[in-house]
Structure 1
Amino acid sequence: MSFPPVDYIPYLTYATPPLVGAFIGYLTNKIAIRMLFRPLKPWYVFGCRVPMTPGVIPSQRERLADNMGEVVGDHLLTSIEIGKALQEEKFQQHLLNVIAERVGAILHADLPPLPELIPDKFSIYRDLGIKSLKQQLRDNINKFILSPAFAEKVQDAIDGRVEHLLDRKVEEVFGVNGREATYCFIETSMKKMFASNTMADWLNGFIRQQVYEALQQEKSLGQLLPKSLMVFIEESIRKQTPNLLKKLAAILQEPEVRDSIVRGACGGVENFIVSLGPMAPMVQNFISMEVVDQKIREYLDEKEEDISNWLSSEDLQLKVGAILAERFANFASTPLVAIINVEDVETVDDFCSHFARQLTLILQGSEVQSALLTMIRENIEIHLENGEIRIGTALTDLLGPEGVDSARNWIRIESVSLLRAPETLKTIGNMIDTLADTLLAKPVGKLSNLLPSDVRKEIYISIQKLTSNMLAIEVPGLVASLDIKSIVADKINSLDLLRLERLLLSIMEEQFKYINLFGALLGFLIGCLNLIFLQMH
């Protein structure tokens, strides 16, 4: 079965207006959008510029750039908006991470000595800076040392140390060995002093002066000598008596002394016989001097041990010592005028010289010096309470309160003067240079080794807060100084037109497509209305 041919002419009559209208609407919109960007340059025909050339955007490029810059600078990227963005937690966390990464890299780096961190091209400035730093350190330290504040601090420190020292016991500072060394020094000094000719001359002159004054004032030897020395001499006499008697026993055993005793005894017997007068010849016939000499020698030989024991007996030693001490006391209490003829100057000089020599010999004796040192040592130890006394108390007893205060004040003044002396300041300056050179030559190393992790974290946070606060304060000024409006305008003006076209098309391509379709739809509707209008007529 076949269909009859279809006549499309009537259909085309009705379809053509809407389709043409749709095509025209789509095409005009397409051309209009295209004319926003094209042509890029003006067209000229017979020297006259073709209207609508170049396109809207190329021709209004500067106005577009200015408007976009104004929108961005005055409405989009304002200092307020940027400040708010900087306070966002996301930005703050990113800032903290960046700071931790950058600062951490520095802290974990194995840094060389500080001068090596400065490039060689700045070596002159580096050397000048180091030299200036040293000089400033020296000047500031010297200025501080010469200031009243330094003197006050040093004096306060010295007062504190002196008080601490004075409050300590003698035993804590000067132990037994220390005090023994002092006593040995005193002993050595005493020996040198007593053995010197200067001491003998001084003692001779002193005794001579004292003797003349005593003769004029009718004083005794006991009044001239110190009481302690008188007691010491009496004790020395008592202590030396046993040695004296032992020496006497030894002397009696010597042949020469024995002969002298025998001769003395025989002489006594002869004198006794002579004193008998007429009976002397008769007695001489009965007594032979040779027999007397022999009997005396035999007696001495027989009683030698008994005599030695008797001289060594404690009872005899005490009695002899007491007698000698008493004799010395009586002699010392007798006015010198009664002993020495004042009118005989030569006799007085001889007495003074003899007394000075004898006293010097006594003082130069090792036993006397040992006794003196023992006496000095025992008295000092008694006074020091065997080291249990406070140093402050001992010095107060020795120097008196005013003497201790004077000594303390002297130490304070001299200490400050010593620290301010030119030599000290020069030494301190040299020390500063040496320490600075040593520190600068030492590798810095890893700063992280010196800083625990918690400290490093606090450093990062502190830098982050500092940076954030600084940005919050400085952003308005920075934004104003940046002139974002001009930057955006200049950037848009500097863009290539094709690139600007691609940029705008990439943003509005979807919208342009719908504009084209809307133009086609609008043309289609206009064509339909036109068709209806024609049919009505």
Structure 2
Amino acid sequence: MNYQQYLPYIIPPLLGGVIGYVTNYIAIRMLFRPLRAWRIVGIRVPLTPGIIPSKRGELAVRMGEMVGEHLLTADDVGRAFAKDSIQRELRLTVTDKLGSFLDRELGSLESLVPGRFRPRFREIIGFFQAKIVKLIFDYLQSDQFEQKLRDYLQQQAEQLLARDLSSFLTPTQYQSAQKHLDNKYSQFFQSPRTAGMVGDYVDRKTGQLLATDLPLRDLLPADLVELLLTQLEKEM
């Protein structure tokens, strides 16, 4: 049998099928690839990126609008969260998670910070440590502290004199002793040694705070946190 007479009928469909397959494959690939624009000598290659990657921002917006307007609207979400059962479950879940977080032993503060951020964390701690020391010394040097100290010393001196010394000290001797005590206390609080003692105390307490394993809610008293934040806001 001579097959050559059938070739004009067989070859064109086969070639058409192969060409169609290749062109469809290329067309489908061009829908999704490449993801980024190709450039040759700074000139963008046409049809790059693919049609869908080049329009992904617009597609995302359209899909979001479709979901928000037709599939899951804001009213549907609002009604779902307004149900008493959902509200109760949310409150219980939040309370449980928050309580578990606050009550568990977290270790030292520095151990909670990822390793790559710890140098920056130490810098921040050093900054706030310097701020706290400055706040303490500013307060010790303020007129308000001086007046409170004088009032306290006068009150204590009066109680002491009324209880023990009034029988053998004259008013003149009392005033002289009070003046002497005022001078001594002023010299004490203005001396470099006192500054070093306060600085060492702050360093020691800061180190203990960073190394403690207590739960987060037990690290600092609430009134101390409020006082420090108020003073830092005034400074900044």
Whether these two folds match at TM > 0.5 is yes
1:155, 1:416 within 8 Å by CA — same for their partners in 2? no
Which 5+ residue runs of structure 1 have no aligned equivalent? 1-62, 170-390, 452-537
Specify the alignment match of 1:395 in structure 2: 169
Whether 1:93 aligns to 2:92 is no
2:81, 2:87 within 8 Å by CA — same for their partners in 1? yes
1:86, 1:92 within 8 Å by CA — same for their partners in 2? yes
Whether 1:414 aligns to 2:188 is no
Match among 107, 126, 132 for residue 137 of structure 1: 132
Q: Output the TM-score relative to the length of structure 2.
A: 0.57
- Kindly tell me: are residues 154 and 86 of structure 1, through their superposed partners in 2, closer, same or farther at Cα, counting changes over 3 Å? farther
Whether 1:429 aligns to 2:203 is no
2:68, 2:74 within 8 Å by CA — same for their partners in 1? no
1:113, 1:443 within 8 Å by CA — same for their partners in 2? yes
Whether 1:439 aligns to 2:209 is yes
Match among 105, 108, 128 for residue 110 of structure 1: 105
1:138, 1:432 within 8 Å by CA — same for their partners in 2? yes
Q: Output the TM-score relative to the length of structure 1.
A: 0.27
- Kindly tell me: are residues 130 and 64 of structure 1, through their superposed partners in 2, closer, same or farther at Cα, counting changes over 3 Å? closer
Residue 87 of structure 1: how far off its partner (Å)? 5.2
What secondary structure is seen at the aligned counterpart in 1 of 2:105? coil
Correspondences of 1:298-313 after superposition (within 5 Å) = none
- Kindly tell me: are residues 92 and 420 of structure 1, through their superposed partners in 2, closer, same or farther at Cα, counting changes over 3 Å? farther
2:167 is matched by which residue type in structure 1?
T
Specify the alignment match of 2:147 in structure 1: 152
Tell me which of the two structures has the higher relative contact order, counting C-alpha pairs closer than 8 angstroms and 6 or more residues apart: 1
Correspondences of 1:233-312 after superposition (within 5 Å) = none
2:154 is matched by which residue type in structure 1?
D
1:130 is matched by which residue type in structure 2?
I
1:107, 1:447 within 8 Å by CA — same for their partners in 2? yes
User: What percent of counterpart residues are identical?
Assistant: 23
Aligned residues: 158
Residue 150 of structure 1: how far off its partner (Å)? 0.9
Residue 130 of structure 1: how far off its partner (Å)? 1.7
Q: Write the distance in 1 (CA, Å) between the matches of 2:196 and 2:89.
A: 53
Residue 410 of structure 1: how far off its partner (Å)? 2.9
Residue 166 of structure 1: how far off its partner (Å)? 1.0
Specify the alignment match of 1:77 in structure 2: 74
Residue 429 of structure 1: how far off its partner (Å)? 0.8
- Kindly tell me: are residues 436 and 100 of structure 1, through their superposed partners in 2, closer, same or farther at Cα, counting changes over 3 Å? same
2:129, 2:206 within 8 Å by CA — same for their partners in 1? yes
- Kindly tell me: are residues 166 and 87 of structure 1, through their superposed partners in 2, closer, same or farther at Cα, counting changes over 3 Å? farther
Correspondences of 1:215-234 after superposition (within 5 Å) = none
Q: Write the distance in 1 (CA, Å) between the matches of 2:63 and 2:103.
A: 51
1:113, 1:440 within 8 Å by CA — same for their partners in 2? yes
Calculate the aligned-residue CA RMSD, in Å.
3.1
Whether 1:168 aligns to 2:163 is yes
Residue 417 of structure 1: how far off its partner (Å)? 2.9
Relative to its length, the structure with more helix (as a share) is: 1
Residue 412 of structure 1: how far off its partner (Å)? 2.2
Which 5+ residue runs of structure 2 have no aligned equivalent? 1-61, 220-236
- Kindly tell me: are residues 87 and 423 of structure 1, through their superposed partners in 2, closer, same or farther at Cα, counting changes over 3 Å? farther
Question: Deviation string for 1:438-477 (max 9, x for gaps)?
Answer: 2222222x458x69xxxxxxxxxxxxxxxxxxxxxxxxxx
Q: Look at both structures and tell me which one has the larger radius of gyration over its CA atoms.
A: 1
Specify the alignment match of 1:240 in structure 2: none
Q: Write the distance in 1 (CA, Å) between the matches of 2:183 and 2:82.
A: 61
Q: Write the distance in 2 (CA, Å) between the matches of 1:157 and 1:87.
A: 58
Residue 162 of structure 1: how far off its partner (Å)? 0.9
2:102, 2:216 within 8 Å by CA — same for their partners in 1? yes
Q: Write the distance in 2 (CA, Å) between the matches of 1:92 and 1:406.
A: 71
